[in-house]
Structure formats: structure tokens, C-alpha cells
Amino acid sequence: MKTLAITFPELETERLILREYRLDEADKMALYRIFSDSRVTRYYNLKTFTEPTEAWRLLQKRHDRFWQGRGVRWAIVPKGQEELIGSCGFNSLNYKTKVGEVGYELARPYWQRGIMTEAVSAAISYGLANLPLQRIEAWIMPENRASANLLLKLGFQSEGILENKGYWNGRFHDLELFSLLAEQWGK
């Protein structure tokens, strides 16, 4: 497996720090609070958390994914604070085809403030400049219009809905594919 870098890339925006997940109690509990909210997990491919150990497993998985060169997921932290309020980044990276799959989530008290637009924009810029990606994809449930609107605002285009593309929580789900090509970024 290819490793991305010797150190985890920290990103800074006007209001946010995008940093590496810390394998500590604070990040575990912040992640647990986010994923134990059923409104956050409504369109997510996992069940709403009921135990902090579930957050620990996700934290470890995201941490390991970076160090194994398979993805990069940033913890989103408002400047001047310590607690993470969400995350964004690339769930998977294919270096051969130069394709990355973007994903994100945000604690409900921070919705509708432009935070995710700011964070995902920074992640995309990093991915196109440093990985370097040619294509970025996002898969969302068609009824998740807030996510679709975010992607459209960032310049993604819908490539259509694939019926029964996803399977989790004991049932199939339709998924809509969005894509952004490197030459389309910033236009």
C-alpha cells in the first residue's frame, strides 16, 4: 500500500482547522455524540451508535485508513476550540485511476452555517493538488437533498441514481452518484 505522506496534512480555512483524528477519549466521545444522533446517521451506511466502543472502532478505522494509504479523513475543529464537530475527506483513494471518494458528516448544532462547504472545499483542493486526483466521486441517498445541494454548490454534477447500489442495515438503498473532475474545480 502507498502511504500518503510522512505526516498527516493539517488544513486551515477561515473558520476551521482540519486535523488528524486523535486516538484519545476526547475524540472518541465527540465522535460518539455525532454518530449517536439519528438525524446525523439518517442517510449514513451505518447504524446510529448506542455505545462509545462503536465510536472507538470508527476512530481507529479512519486513523488506520490514512496510515495504510487508503484514504484521508480530517476531523473538523472550529478555530479556538478543541472538540471535533464533524469530519470530511476521502473514504477511499485509487492511485491508479486517480479517483477519490469524498464523504462527510457534521454534528447537528452546526448545520446550515456553511461549515461543511468550507471544510469539503479545503479537502477537495488538497486532493486535487497533492494526491493528485483527476476525479472525485460522492455517493448519497437520493432523498438527502442537503447533501446533494452541498455537492452541487461545490461544482459536482449528478451522474444519476443507481437502484439498490448500497446495502446496509439489512436492506438495499438507491444511491445517487455525483462527480467532479479536476478541470471543473473552481469554475
Backbone angles phi and psi of 87, in degrees to 5 = -155, 165
> How many domains does one find in the chain?
1
Is the pLDDT assigned to residue 2 strictly greater than 60? no
Q: Give the predicted TM-score (pTM) of the model.
A: 0.93
* 149 SS3 class: helix
Cα three-residue angle 87-133-31, rounded to 5 degrees = 10
Does residue 163 lie in a domain region?
A: no
Does residue 185 lie in a domain region?
A: no
In whole angstroms, give the CA distance from residue 74 to residue 17.
9
Per-residue pLDDT tens digits for 76-114: 999 999 999 999 999 999 999 999 999 999 999 999 999
Per-residue pLDDT tens digits for 22-58: 999 999 999 999 999 999 999 999 999 999 999 999 9
Per-residue pLDDT tens digits for 126-179: 999 999 899 999 999 999 999 999 999 999 999 999 999 999 888 999 999 999
**Rounded alpha-carbon distances, angstroms, from residue 182 to 69, 95, 100, 126, 186:** 21, 14, 11, 11, 9
Query: For the domain that residue 72 is a member of, what is the CATH number?
Result: 3.40.630.30
Cα three-residue angle 15-111-125, rounded to 5 degrees = 50
Range of the domain at 73: 11-136
